[in-house]
Amino acid sequence: VNFQLEGDPVALPMIVNATLLRIAQGAIANVVRHAHATRADLTLTYQSDSVSLDVVDDGVGFDPATASAEAGESFGLRAIRQRVASLGGMLSVESALGEGTALAVTVPILDPAAAEPSRPEVSA
Amino acid sequence: MIRLLIADDHPVVRAGLRALFATEPDLDVVAEAATGEHAVQQSREGVDIVLMDLQFGGGMQGAEATRRIRQADGAPHVLVLTNYDTDADILGAVEAGAAGYLLKDAPPAELIAAVRAAARGESALAPTVAGRLEARQNSSGEALTTREAEVLGLVADGCSNRDIAKALFLSEATVKSHLVHIFTKLQVSSRTAAVASARDRGYIRPA
């Protein structure tokens, strides 16, 4: 497993850090368990408006269409998708049989004022 | 006396440089190397300045050889000599510890002056290169990152997003995201225009 860092790191809200770390751990565990890969790369990319985490392996891959049609989306992926959605981000899964798997999570970086943890809404 | 090692895979280039330096009484070419590996080895044998080609036909390239040479205690200074003046090459060489960077088409007097400057521990950048680095610093808001230049270099080679993703072990989503940022920075709207603009600005190698 290689790790690459691209771009200038900026401070992120704690919740974003924690979520990305969890996803990285889960994704690497998936690679180890299922992919039969010889190489996996974890790349954290800071851009002006977003931060992305890519977990890419050269393993056996799978057919994303079949996987979700047959068994529903796997539990792990669904959990990741929900975590990312809660941060306003996007998850993309790219794979094909024999072509390895790429998982990409992109979370927007809001301007510093907006990045302050928002007050939970109180509902009566 | 300044002792020189000339590292270049082209015998004609080595012979030309040797002939040039032979006219200067204070410069002495003590060794030549045709590969990066050989250059690293030779640099340990009483050399003050290494003139290093960036692109070798195979094996270790100039930036890596420079890095290894500079790791040693009392390492010689390295002056990089190359045909290309793209920023990616400059940055790689400077980051590897090169004292200076000169183009092979520089006037002989400039080459000789650069060797003497490097021997005094000064840095030497060809004026065109120094100007471009400065221009780039002034417009830093629009500069491509190393990774963006890498992505665009693969576009220039005719790679699809999928090819690029495979080559860099990235998702296609992130490759696309890099391209969007590249287009914005270069103020273009197509891959072809991005490649042309980046070549003009020296981010990627000329065709």
> How is B50-68 classified by DSSP, letter by letter?
EEEES--SSSS-HHHHHHH
Q: Extract the tokens encoding B174.
A: 């992130």
Q: How far is B146 from chain A (nearest CA, A)?
A: 8
What's the pLDDT at A74?
65
Q: Give the three-class secondary structure for B169.
A: coil
What's the pLDDT at B40?
94
Among A64-73, B24-33, B47-56, B192-201, the range scoring the smallest mean pLDDT is A64-73
> What's the average model confidence in pLDDT over B181-194?
89
Nearest one of A48, A61, A47 to A103, comparing CA atoms: A61
Contact A64, A101 (CB under 8 A): no
Q: Do A102 and B181 touch (CB under 8 A)?
A: no
User: Is residue B83's pLDDT more than 80?
Assistant: no
User: Is residue B27's pLDDT more than 50?
Assistant: yes
Chain B's closest residue to A101, CA to CA, is B171
As a whole-number percent, the residues of chain B with pLDDT over 70 amount to: 86
What's the pLDDT at B85?
63
> What's the average model confidence in pLDDT over B80-97?
70
Question: What mean pLDDT, rounded, does chain A reach?
Answer: 80
Q: How far is A17 from chain B (nearest CA, A)?
A: 19
pLDDT tens, residue by residue, A4-44: 888 778 888 888 888 898 889 888 888 888 889 899 999 99
User: Is residue B12's pLDDT more than 90?
Assistant: yes
> What's the average model confidence in pLDDT over B78-99?
74
CA distances in angstroms from A42 to A111, B151, B170, listed in the order given: 26, 17, 8
Q: Do A106 and B177 touch (CB under 8 A)?
A: yes
Chain A's closest residue to B171, CA to CA, is A102
Best to test chain A binding among B166, B168, B174, B184 (most A CBs inside 10 Å) = B174
Query: Predicted confidence band at B140 (pLDDT cuts at 50, 70, 90)?
Result: very low
pLDDT tens, residue by residue, A98-113: 889 999 999 988 754 4
Residues of A in contact with B170 (CB under 8 A): 41, 43, 54, 56, 102, 104
CA distance B125 to B99: 8
Query: Predicted confidence band at B141 (pLDDT cuts at 50, 70, 90)?
Result: very low
What's the pLDDT at A121?
46
User: Is residue A86's pLDDT more than 90?
Assistant: no
Number of A–B residue contacts, CB under 8 Å = 55
pLDDT tens, residue by residue, B30-43: 999 999 999 999 99
* Of B101 and A57, the one with more pLDDT: A57
Q: What are phi and psi of B112, to 5 degrees?
A: -65, -45
* Of A67 and B10, the one with more pLDDT: B10
By the CB < 8 Å criterion, does A43 face chain B?
A: yes
Question: What mean pLDDT, rounded, does chain B reach?
Answer: 85
Cα dihedral B61, B63, B64, B65 sign: positive
Beta-sheet strands, E only, within A1-115: 2-6, 40-46, 50-57, 90-95, 101-108
The answer to ipTM > 0.85 is no
* Of B189 and B34, the one with more pLDDT: B34
Q: Do B147 and A6 touch (CB under 8 A)?
A: yes
Q: Please identify which residue in the block is written with the tokens 């039969």.
A: A36
> What's the average model confidence in pLDDT over B150-175?
94
Q: Do A56 and B171 touch (CB under 8 A)?
A: yes
Residues of B in contact with A48 (CB under 8 A): 181
Q: Please identify which residue in the block is written with the tokens 């650069």.
A: B114
Query: Predicted confidence band at A124 (pLDDT cuts at 50, 70, 90)?
Result: very low
Residues of A in contact with B177 (CB under 8 A): 45, 47, 50, 52, 106
User: Is residue A118's pLDDT more than 50?
Assistant: no
CA-based diameter of chain A, in Å? 54
User: Is residue B182's pLDDT more than 50?
Assistant: yes
Among A24-33, A74-83, B87-96, the range scoring the smallest mean pLDDT is B87-96
